Each structure stands twice: as C-alpha cells, then as structure tokens.
Amino acid sequence: MGLSSEITTMYVVMILLITIFDYYGQMFRGKYSSFSAGIVGKTKTTIKFIVIYMLSLDMRYQEIYDALDLNFYIPLLLFSATLLSGVSMALKTKLYNEHMKTYLGGFIKKYLEEYFNDKG
C-alpha cells in the first residue's frame, strides 16, 4: 500500500520538531540534567526506534504492516515523541535556569560586595 505524500510530510515535520527540541534541550542543559528529563528522553528515543522499525515493515513485510494497521499507530507514536521532546526540553531548561540564577546571583552579590568595599 505504501505511505501517502501527506503522511510522509507529516512524518518529516514531526521528526524536524523532535530534532529541534532535542537540539535546544541539549543546548540549554549544559552539565545539569534532572532525572525526570533523562527518563522522558529515553522514552522518546525508544518510541523513535519503534517507529523506525514500523516504517521498515512497510518496505519489507507489507502484509504485517497492513494487518497491524500501522498507518494509525505511527503518527500517534510520532506525536507522542514530539510531545515528549518538548517536555524533555522544558525540564532541562527549567533546571538550567535555576542553576544559572543561583550562579549569577552569587556572582552579582560578590561583585557588588567587592565594589562597595572598595568604595567605602
């Protein structure tokens, strides 16, 4: 049966969103990452591997692909992976921001103390 062009376009858009969320999540994370962000990320990666396997069934075993009605499950799983990417990025960003506030707050406090000690 094969994949229609609309479904293929939807897959490409979702995979691009996942990639963008992953990139920003890694960029924001730095050396800090919460346990929950790791679990969400591993779940998302597992879903992506399952989707890749399902898509390979379309090329190799068309009967199994049609029997399992994977045209329904693949978009559902990709949508779930896209949501999990956003959640993972948000968790990493929140933790990163908390650490940066602590770091910058300490830095500014130290700088102001030195500045006012020099003045007075």
Per-residue pLDDT tens digits for 28-81 = 665 666 677 778 878 888 888 888 888 777 777 878 878 888 888 888 888 888
87 within 8 A of 31, measured Cβ to Cβ: no
18 within 8 A of 48, measured Cβ to Cβ: yes
Please report which confidence band the pLDDT of residue 100 belongs to, taking 50, 70 and 90 as the band edges: low
pLDDT value of position 32: 62
7 within 8 A of 71, measured Cβ to Cβ: yes
Q: % helix / strand / coil in the chain, to the nearest 5?
A: 90, 0, 10
Q: What is d(CA 97, CA 14) in angstroms, rounded to the nearest whole number?
A: 27
Q: What is d(CA 20, CA 88) in angstroms, rounded to the nearest whole number?
A: 12
pLDDT value of position 30: 58
Question: What's phi and psi for 32, nearest 5 deg?
Answer: -100, 135
Mean of per-residue pLDDT scores for the chain: 74
> What is the sign of the dihedral through the CA atoms of 73, 76, 79 and 85?
negative
| 119: number of Cβ within 10 Å | 6
